[in-house]
Chains A and B, each alone.
Chain A
Amino acid sequence: MDAVSPGKQVVLPGDLVAEDPTLAGEGTYVEGNRVFSLHHGIVESKDGVRVIPLNGRYLPMPGDTVIGLVTDMQFSGWRVDIGGPVQAFLKLEDHFARVERGELDKHLRPGDLILARVARVGPEMKIDLILNEPDLTVLREGRVMDVDPTRVRRIIGRGGSMIRLLKRKYRCDIVVATNGRAWVRGPDSEVEEALRTLKLIEAEAHTSGLTNRIATLLGVSTEGLTDPPGEGRRRDRPPREDRRGTRRDDGPRGEGRRGPRRGDRRPPRDDFEIPSEITQRPARRMGGRGGGRRRE
């Protein structure tokens, strides 16, 4: 395997990374007018000095798109595990549907997976999630895989190039969330392949020229993978109708509620533009084949 990209310096906690405290950036601390590393990571010296950790847990930041596992229902909302140091909370009024008090279980139950956004991170590590933005949803189908949160940036690629490459190859919807969980939906065999490729990218995340190598491996052209910045961002997607009101499928939760087979879905469009760096297509059918993880 290749070494860490040339020109990048690997440091350990406590290593001196700069002599000028004004340069101190993320992943560093200042002591006696000198800047030291906080992580085992790679030094980045663009406008200041930052240390990008090579491993570690997810630390929630406002604005992160995350895949969360509902763990508990409470009076005013749900507790959600997002892989951070503490659990996050989704208030019922931040759900996209109008949720009546006492009817929380009609919308989300422990075991459900959601694609949510971190709204606030309080000074006491109180993490609030929201679900009422256009690109956020409840994940009722597909598969979720854990990836190393420190490698998510690489899996997405610069400007979403890597993820776009994968979508070009596999007829799948793919979301790689900042908290180190990847969601893939599509025909079973393609999902399997896509997850394997994601694992590969994760393992090689620190090597250079990875997008091109993966492209060669998959036999996909890299043409037009990176958009000129500013263009092609679609954050302003209108909300879907069935997001208002309660869930469309109020049928019984259980074995009998299987939707049509997966394979016959039309392939994802290729002319689709990537909405944000975390590329995501809304679930078209919320009923579908029942939540992936929950009933296994």
Chain B
Amino acid sequence: MSGMKSSEPLIVKGKRLDGRAVDQLRPIKMEVGVLKRADGSCYYEQGDNKVMAAVYGPREVHPRHQEEATKAIVRYRYNMASFSVDDRKRPGPDRRSVELSKVSRQAIEPLVLTERFPRSAVDVFVEVLQADAGTRTAGINAACLALVDAGIPMRGLVAACAAGKVEDTVVLDLNQKEDNFGQADMPVALWRGGTTLVQMDGHMTFEEFQKGYAMARKGCEDILAMMRETLLTQAKKGDGGKE
């Protein structure tokens, strides 16, 4: 939300720069079980976002002082590869990725049956290989698929997607240009039992918020349907995607 003006109009006759309608998601691709040595993994693409998620566990907690006697802990690491953005990103955790790790963890933690595995940890690693706005939501979707692939008991599936405001229009699933030159960005994550993540960067009126939230909700439902299909077709293959 830099407040800068884009050199070109972002929405022309209801079409966006990449040709999408205002309530249309970018094309999504997902593949489960791509990493052999992880307990669960997923490669996920949404438009020009490319994300890899790996899940390990439940396993022993190191360092030991983090362990909890009554439940498993969930650790989530969101990381952007240095080559994932136009200008090289300085590698390693920074303020932004620490925050995203935290909110993403909180988006998936209510789904995991942590009580089932006392004294252990479920580790989720999300690596952003290529970023084009909306990486946290892509990461959450990838993480959810990887968790199911790892066979970790869960109360349901989460999906995440963003809505926002561009040129005073509420739109779904912002891309990089829309994010940079738009007015607001609002990532949402939800599952059958409720919403686990809502953030908003920028300004929207209450009506815009409601409209955006409804749009994001619809987007999440569409993504959920895709996730279901991905997981079920891999079950039919019988090998869970491994080997």
The minimal Cβ–Cβ distance linking A244 to chain B, given in whole angstroms, is: 35
The minimal Cβ–Cβ distance linking A86 to chain B, given in whole angstroms, is: 5
- The bracket for how many chain B residues form the interface is 35 or more
The minimal Cβ–Cβ distance linking A223 to chain B, given in whole angstroms, is: 28
In Å, the complex CA distance between A207 and B231 comes to: 18
Question: Looking at the complex, which one of B111, B119, B235 makes contact with A124 (CB distance below 8 Å)?
Answer: B119
Known contacts: A13-B157, A54-B151, A150-B151. The answer to whether A204 contacts B119 by CB under 8 A is no
Are A87 and B113 interface neighbours, CB within 8 A?
A: no
Known contacts: A13-B154, A40-B151, A125-B119. The answer to whether A57 contacts B58 by CB under 8 A is yes
Q: Does B188 lie at the interface of the complex (its beta carbon under 8 Å from any beta carbon of A)?
A: no
The minimal Cβ–Cβ distance linking B158 to chain A, given in whole angstroms, is: 9
Which residue on A lies nearest to B61, using beta carbons?
A86
Question: Looking at the complex, which one of B39, B60, B191, B193 makes contact with A86 (CB distance below 8 Å)?
Answer: B60
Most buried by B among A40, A56, A57, A207: A40
Are A14 and B154 interface neighbours, CB within 8 A?
A: yes
Are A14 and B191 interface neighbours, CB within 8 A?
A: yes
Q: Which of B155-194 contact A (CB under 8 A)?
A: 155-157, 191-193
Q: Does B239 lie at the interface of the complex (its beta carbon under 8 Å from any beta carbon of A)?
A: yes
Are B113 and A38 interface neighbours, CB within 8 A?
A: yes
CB neighbours (8 Å) of A14 from chain B are 154-157, 191-192
The minimal Cβ–Cβ distance linking A146 to chain B, given in whole angstroms, is: 12
Question: Looking at the complex, which one of A4, A29, A31, A39 makes contact with B151 (CB distance below 8 Å)?
Answer: A39
Are B232 and A85 interface neighbours, CB within 8 A?
A: no
In Å, the complex CA distance between A29 and B111 comes to: 12
The minimal Cβ–Cβ distance linking B127 to chain A, given in whole angstroms, is: 22
- The bracket for how many chain A residues form the interface is 20 to 34
In Å, the complex CA distance between A1 and B237 comes to: 7
Are B151 and A85 interface neighbours, CB within 8 A?
A: no
Q: Does A53 lie at the interface of the complex (its beta carbon under 8 Å from any beta carbon of B)?
A: yes
CB neighbours (8 Å) of B15 from chain A are none
The minimal Cβ–Cβ distance linking A45 to chain B, given in whole angstroms, is: 18
The minimal Cβ–Cβ distance linking B70 to chain A, given in whole angstroms, is: 7
Interface string of B17-35 (1 = CB under 8 A from A): 0000000000000000000
Are A12 and B228 interface neighbours, CB within 8 A?
A: yes
Q: Which of B229-243 contact A (CB under 8 A)?
A: 231-232, 235-240, 243
The minimal Cβ–Cβ distance linking B20 to chain A, given in whole angstroms, is: 28
Q: Which of B94-116 contact A (CB under 8 A)?
A: 111, 113, 116
Which residue on A lies nearest to B149, using beta carbons?
A55
Question: Looking at the complex, which one of A31, A53, A125, A204 makes contact with B238 (CB distance below 8 Å)?
Answer: A204
Q: Does A203 lie at the interface of the complex (its beta carbon under 8 Å from any beta carbon of B)?
A: yes
Q: Which of B113-130 contact A (CB under 8 A)?
A: 113, 116-120
Q: Does B203 lie at the interface of the complex (its beta carbon under 8 Å from any beta carbon of A)?
A: no
- A residues with CB within 8 A of B: 1, 3-4, 10, 12-14, 27, 29, 31, 36, 38-40, 53-57, 59, 85-87, 123-125, 150, 203-207
